[in-house]
Amino acid sequence: MSITITGTIEKIDIGTGTWALVTDTGEKYELYESPSELQNPQLKVKVEGKIRDDIMTLAMIGPVLEVQSFEIIG
């Protein structure tokens, strides 16, 4: 099932580092195999993707979101 999330891209410096999508309410989603276009801190985006419950990461900052499509909004 796909979900749509709007937020800001952040680089999280835990372990080897990871890219995250942070919503306006502070929820963090770790981006799974983040597209290079999304690897830009402070980028405002709308992302459609699915939560991957079958993946564990070193950062463990929140649910892992596999990006299926995205739109840069600011």
**Neighbour-count burial of 63, counting CB atoms closer than 10 A to its CB (0-12 exposed, 13-18 middle, 19+ buried):** middle
pLDDT of residue 62: 94
Query: Given a cut of 90, is residue 2 above it in pLDDT?
Result: yes
Task: Give the pLDDT of residue 15.
Answer: 79
pLDDT in tens, 33-58: 999 999 999 999 999 999 999 998 88
For the structural domain made of 3-72, what CATH number should be given?
Answer: 2.40.50.500
In this predicted structure, the answer to whether residue 70 has a pLDDT above a threshold of 90 is: yes
